[in-house]
């Protein structure tokens, strides 16, 4: 919610019934290789709207550090006993679940994958794989 260029953009209504975050979550639901979707947000009061929205969708949400993004991912992974995380930015309604699946598939043979390795992406997606050991 604390975007400096467009505050509140994640919860902005785009079509009268869905906010930006809904579009991202809907797209990710078409991924064949994502086992679980967890929205990782901050503990800040301004992000309670995200927490409530995600819970209404019956999805998991994790609240962590607002200052240390990597720690937020790490704590989320620890709490949920995750070894791998696919990081998807919450402000990308055009995320392509097929590309997400391609990144996950490629990740199986390495430790880190950034979408830039796929020439057809052209900076539209921001898909990042993290592994915790």
pLDDT at 99 over 50: yes
Q: What ranges make up the beta strands (E) of the chain?
A: 38-42, 60-64, 84-88, 127-131
Q: How sure is the predictor about 84, in pLDDT bands with cuts at 50, 70 and 90?
A: confident
Give the rounded percent of residues in the chain with a pLDDT score beyond 90: 51
Higher pLDDT, 117 or 62: 62
Secondary structure element (H or E) that encloses residue 48, with its range: helix 48-56
- Phi and psi, residue 39, nearest 5°: -85, 120
Q: How sure is the predictor about 108, in pLDDT bands with cuts at 50, 70 and 90?
A: confident
This prediction has a pTM of: 0.81
pLDDT at 8 over 90: no
CB-based contact 126:116 (threshold 8 Å): no
Averaged pLDDT for residues 71-92: 89
- Domain 9-131 belongs in CATH node 3.90.550.10: yes
Higher pLDDT, 107 or 91: 91
Q: In terms of DSSP bridges, do strands 84-88 and 127-131 run parallel, antiparallel, or are they unpaired?
A: antiparallel
pLDDT digits (tens, 9 = 90+) for 118-133: 444 443 345 555 554 4
CB-based contact 85:132 (threshold 8 Å): yes
61 DSSP β-pair partners: 39
Q: What is the mean pLDDT of the chain?
A: 83
Q: How sure is the predictor about 2, in pLDDT bands with cuts at 50, 70 and 90?
A: low
Higher pLDDT, 74 or 53: 53
């Amino acid at each position: 919610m604390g975007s400096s260029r467009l505050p509140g953009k994640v919860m902005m209504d785009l079509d009268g019934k869905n906010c930006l975050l809904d579009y991202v979550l809907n797209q990710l639901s078409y991924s064949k290789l994502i086992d679980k979707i967890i929205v990782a947000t901050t503990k800040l009061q301004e992000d309670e709207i995200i927490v409530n929205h995600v819970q209404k969708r019956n999805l998991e949400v994790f609240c962590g550090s607002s200052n240390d993004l990597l720690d937020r991912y790490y704590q989320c992974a620890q709490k949920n006993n995750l070894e791998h995380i696919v990081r998807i930015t919450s402000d990308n309604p055009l995320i392509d679940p097929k590309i997400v699946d391609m990144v996950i598939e490629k990740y199986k043979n390495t430790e880190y994958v950034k979408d830039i390795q796929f020439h057809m992406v052209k900076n539209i997606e921001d898909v990042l794989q993290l592994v915790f050991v």
